[in-house]
Amino acid sequence: MEQIEIDRQEAEPIAERLKSLACVECVRGWLKTYEGENGPIADIIYCGTLGLITSELQERLLGEVKAVQQGDEG
């Protein structure tokens, strides 16, 4: 139980940043400066699982991150 609370405290600032990503260009900028250990997709899923972001936001961000990553690879 204590580990979950520590993880939640660490995830809250990430969730606040995710909530501020209003467009694909915002997501692209976030990905360019991303310094997390788990990866952006894992962070989005984790924040969604903890209920720190809505499922709608989680779904949108996952789609945008994947689209940006595919575009950067191509």
> Residues 6 or more apart from 45 whose CB is under 8 A from it?
58, 62
* Confidence check: pLDDT of 4 > 70: no
Rounded to two decimals, the pTM is: 0.87
Q: How far apart are CA 68 and CA 53, in angstroms?
A: 20
Q: How far apart are CA 48 and CA 55, in angstroms?
A: 6
Quick one: pLDDT at residue 67? 95
Range of 20's domain? 2-73
Count of domains for the chain = 1
